[in-house]
Structures are given as structure tokens and as C-alpha cells.
Structure 1
Amino acid sequence: MRVTGGIAGVNDVVTVAADGAVSVERRSGVEERRLGEPALAQLTGLLGGAEFAALPSYRFGTSVADGFQYQFAHGGRTVTADQGNLVPPLGEILALLGL
């Protein structure tokens, strides 16, 4: 996943490995953490589920000044949305990742 935008011009990259290891690359450095089994199973279900598969590649609406854009990539599919259009399951994915 990539998070861009905001007042500070954020350009963060979040990578989740199959074993639940999470790497968050920011300008200030790399943060490493791990998802527990229940959270990893939930994340896998959300990304592999019908809701994610049915989303259009781009979800943009009314722009939010200094807002964020999120690019979710999984299994060869990418969905990009601005912060005002984080429909399910996108908001749930962000919450699971602690973002």
C-alpha cells in the first residue's frame, strides 16, 4: 500500500508479508511490526474478498484540501482512493494496519 498527500507531502509505503510482518517506510525511517494471526487472517479475507474485487481501480470524489490518497495493491490488482472515498473494505484495511 502507498499513502501520499497531506500538508507534509507524505509518501509512505506499507508492505505486509505472508507471515504478518509489516514494514512501514517513511521519510523518517522504517518501522517494523507484526500483525497477529487474527488480524492477518482478517486482512487476507478483506483483500481476497468480493468487496475488494468489485471496487473500481479509482475511487475519487469531492477533493479534500491537503487530503491523502491510498493505493491498495494485492494479487495483481490495485485500487486507488482518496480519503473521502474509503468505502468498505478500504477503511477496514487501514484500521487493521493501524493507519
Structure 2
Amino acid sequence: MKNMIISVVTLMFMVVMNYVLANVLGWNFIDLSLFVGLAFALIIRFFTSTGGLSSNMVRVQVQSMTGIKVEEEKETFKPTYAFYTAIFYTVAALIGVLIYYKDYFI
């Protein structure tokens, strides 16, 4: 039940953000949907993964300040339901864009 609520809240937040951006920029909803979904997927991935560039920068800073060697943390990522929802939204937006602009692609 908790995972369903997380997915619904994530989806609602993405739709609202897409709607607000579309109104502010004066674009169509479908034009921004792919970019909003992709941005959310990347942001969720960045903030839920361990290791990587930001962790290495902090590790190097700590080593330079203290002189104590800190073990490098391996980059790991465990996908969350919010991430899966963002990926689903992105794929659905891609399909919607392809259908909406099919005359341009064919």
C-alpha cells in the first residue's frame, strides 16, 4: 500500500510540474512531458544512489583534510517505486509524443 501511494504521489507531482511548466513557457503539455519524465528519473537516480562522483569528491576532501585514507564506496543503485514511476511516465510520454507528432516522423 505504501509503494502504491509513493507511485501515485510521484505521478501526480510530475503531472503538476509538467502542467505548470507548460503554462509558464506557453508550450503544449505533450511537448514537455518527455523532458519532465526524464529529468525526474535522473534526479531520483542521483539522489537515491550511493557512491559515484559526489561521494568520491567528499571522500577525497576528507582524505586531504585528515590524512586518513577512506575506502572508496562502490556505486550502487536500488531502484525505488518512484524511479519506476518516472521511467513509466517517460515511456508513456515518448509513446504519446510519437503518436502526436507521427506526421513529422513519417
TM-score range, shorter chain: under 0.3
State the structure with bigger RCO (CA 8 A, min sep 6), 1 or 2.
2
Q: Report the TM-score, using the length of structure 2 for normalisation.
A: 0.22
Rg larger in structure: 2
Q: Structure 1 or 2: larger helix share?
A: 2
Higher strand residue share = 1
